Chains A and B, each alone.
Chain A
Amino acid sequence: MIDGFLYQALVYITAAVICVPIAKRLGMGSVLGYLIAGIVIGPSVFGFIGKEGQDIMHFAEFGVVMMLFLIGLELEPAHFWKLRSRIFGLGGLQLCVTALILSAGLYYTFGFTWQAALGAGLALSKSSTAIVMQTLKEKGLHTTRAGRSAFSVLLFQDMAVIPVLALLPFLAAQPGHSSGWAQAGLLVGAVLAVVVMGRYIIAPFLRLVAAAGLRELCVAGSLLIVIATAYMMKLAGLSPALGAFVAGVVLANSEFRHELESDIEPFKGLLLGLFFIAVGASINFSLIAQQPLTILALVAAVLTVKACVLMVAGRLFKITLDQNFIFTVALSQVGEFAFVIFAFMGTLQLLPGSWIDIMMAVVALTMSTTPVFMLINERLILPRFGTRKTTEQDSNDIDVSNQVIIAGFSTFGSTVGRFLRANDIEATILDNNSEHVELLRKMGFRVFYGDATRLDILHSAGASEAKILVIAIDDQTTSCKLAATVRKHFPHLTVLSRANNNFDAYALMEHKVERVYRECLDASVRLSVDALVLLGFRRYSATRAAQKFIAYDEAAVQKLAQHRHDQKQYIHTTRQEIEMQEQLLANDRAAIHNLNDHAWESNNSDEMEKGTD
């Protein structure tokens, strides 16, 4: 038993650890990496994990369960209300139209019964929350219009699973049979049970656990809630993911929301990875080999229908062209709930087993297309049809090249840009969010759209003529990459970079960036000055102490950066963070950077006029 488990764990983790970094390096994103890992270890290639494919799926589904619990948690009523038009409008439109078209297609083309066609259509109209959220987050697109719209649609789909699952037994029931009502009743009852439990059992239980004051106990408690809910739903013969989603929604309003989120987050990532591997492994290539035309035609048809509907829906909701492309491609696959719905249809005998297998293969295949299409969209479609990389230069603008380039125009970069502009310095801006770009162009900024680390973009932004490059990118890896590129190709540029914390500052200093600005330093010292003043200190003395402290701290970080051992890949762990803080604190005690200096003091004994009183 243990041997089996260890063997499986070994295979999965090895596959993930090898494939995912390669996939990331090739710019494919982690989801595709996991899927490929699954295909490689699955029965079709090496067969390390084989016959137990079904079991793998069950275990792997647990990642999806966690994720839906977290999504449920994010559904604060206030937030939900703000998104209502997009959730119900965009989500409802997408789901209904897609389901109708697909159902009709299945009914007429493959001769499904109308009940089976409707059930399958509804299943296929869902998209994969797991894949979409992971991919968008990885590409930093989840806060764009496309990302938020995709989230709304996914939310509606996840909610819609409840009525769909309730509906299926009715579709399956023979006239006059009562099992439909019983099944639907069971579902509604179970959902109600979760709601009631969330209110009256889980919340008091969490209060009890929290009172114990042990962090690991809170993690265990959070896991227990998810596992228990999932198990209960399973016992009732229902989807565990659905139960977790409902439990999440119920707990979204409790005081434990953020606690639960941070407790479960790390497990979610790993288990979702497992889920993607399992999807890869469960693609039945022998089935595809037997009926390649049917399956590939189905895949193509499903993707086309979904994409067209999404495109039109996005258009109706006034999403700009670039964002609409991203939105469409992101949501074009079929989601993990389709596995659940098809499995349920199998048990209800709505659809024959052979069709269920084909449908499962179709679902898995569409899932694996998304990362590829995202890549194609990003590299080939958007550069051609999307937001232009550069503005067409006005004839009187040709000779003007700005002295400052700002990479990244989020809050940090925009503050820099605004301040410079207030002082009549125009900056050229590089950003990879097409919405920012549109807005900035309207405001008259000179903006280049795209990945700032790319040499051609830097060239066209005028890096060879500029004097200063401001790196204001959120992501530190990108900042370092940009710093390295600039050092190599534009050594004349003075680089001023933002750093999130001390570790990022070190990393940047290693890339020979001399001017590093830790974003938290000035604000926290300013806050401390106010704290001292509230405690009765004189504001001027506190301000002087703060100025000295900042100078001291910057020198200390420079010094620590030099003495840091020569590790190429520096892995940032909490322990190292603590060690570094200890080092800083120890030095603090030795250095004088407080109020006790000797300014405005004098020797009392002589008459020399140097003293104050």
Chain B
Amino acid sequence: MDKILLMLAHPRFEKSRANKALLTAVQDLPFVTVHDLYELYPDFNIDIDREHELLTQHHIIIWQYPLYMYSPPAILKQWMDLVLELGWAHGPDGNNLKGKLICNTITTGGSTESYGPKGFNNYRLEEFLRPLEQTALLCKMEWLPIFSIQGTYRHAPEHYSHYGNQYRRALQYLAEETIDLTHIRKHPSLNEWIASTEKQDKP
């Protein structure tokens, strides 16, 4: 049950570097199901029953996407609108997602510093995700800190493999260890959580 559903939403994955590095690092993990939305639904005609089944079969849901115009790509919104039905995902009887973990893996062109009151983009990355966060809460899911690569245009290839390894370790930990949600939420991002957890583990 502790399996991870990795939903990739990238309209131009063939040109991607960051998302490709992240996906390559985790796609062979036995407990990860990669679910490539743009490849499966090029016409946005999402198969709702199939999505429900996949969601039921997994405990951890990851939305992985590049931030574009401060939001996830269009297909993820389409997916949310169609799949998260009243009476299935939310509402008095909609308990199918209750207690599942939800995490966003995000790449941004802008650097970490540009996201904040003093930065070019004015708001913190988390603030741009409020609609997603509230949707997750509506569906009674547990919202986790994000995993991110920021300032992607400035990274050299070895940076990507560093992020890839970090991502892989984070997913492994989430899938295999007992998770203390309060502890994770003390960290601003999954990147920092996995880094500090590993430091503690190593004596």
Contact = CB atoms under 8 A, between A and B. Distances in A.
User: Do A and B originate from a single complex?
Assistant: yes
Given A540-B38, A607-B121, A612 B16 contact: yes
A611 interface: yes
B14 A538 contact: yes
B11 A610 contact: no
Contact of A609 (B15, B16, B67): B67
A537 interface: yes
B135 interface: no
B67 A537 contact: no
B69 A610 contact: yes
B38 to A, nearest CB: 4
A542 interface: yes
Q: Which of A540, A541, A600, A607 has the most CB of B within 10 A?
A: A540
Interface in A87-112: none
A541 B14 contact: yes
Given A600-B15, A612-B16, A613-B16, 12 more contacts: A538-B12, A538-B13, A538-B14, A539-B38, A539-B40, A539-B42, A607-B110, A607-B120, A609-B110, A610-B68, A610-B69, A613-B18
Interface in B43-58: 43
B17 interface: yes
A538 B109 contact: no
Contacts of B153: 604, 611, 613
Contacts of A599: 11-12
B10 interface: yes
A612 B13 CA distance: 9
B136 to A, nearest CB: 22
A46 to B, nearest CB: 67
A537 B14 contact: yes
Contacts of A600: 11-12, 15, 66, 68
Interface in A332-385: none
Contacts, number: 75
Contacts of B149: 613
Interface string A50-80: 0000000000000000000000000000000
A543 interface: yes
Contacts of A611: 66, 68, 109, 152-153
B93 to A, nearest CB: 30
Contacts of B69: 609-610
Nearest to A533: B39
A541 B12 CA distance: 7
18 contacts: A538-B14, A539-B38, A539-B40, A599-B11, A599-B12, A600-B11, A600-B66, A600-B68, A602-B109, A607-B121, A609-B67, A609-B70, A609-B109, A609-B110, A609-B114, A612-B11, A612-B12, A613-B152
Interface string B139-164: 00000000001001100000000000
A608 B122 CA distance: 11
B39 A540 contact: yes
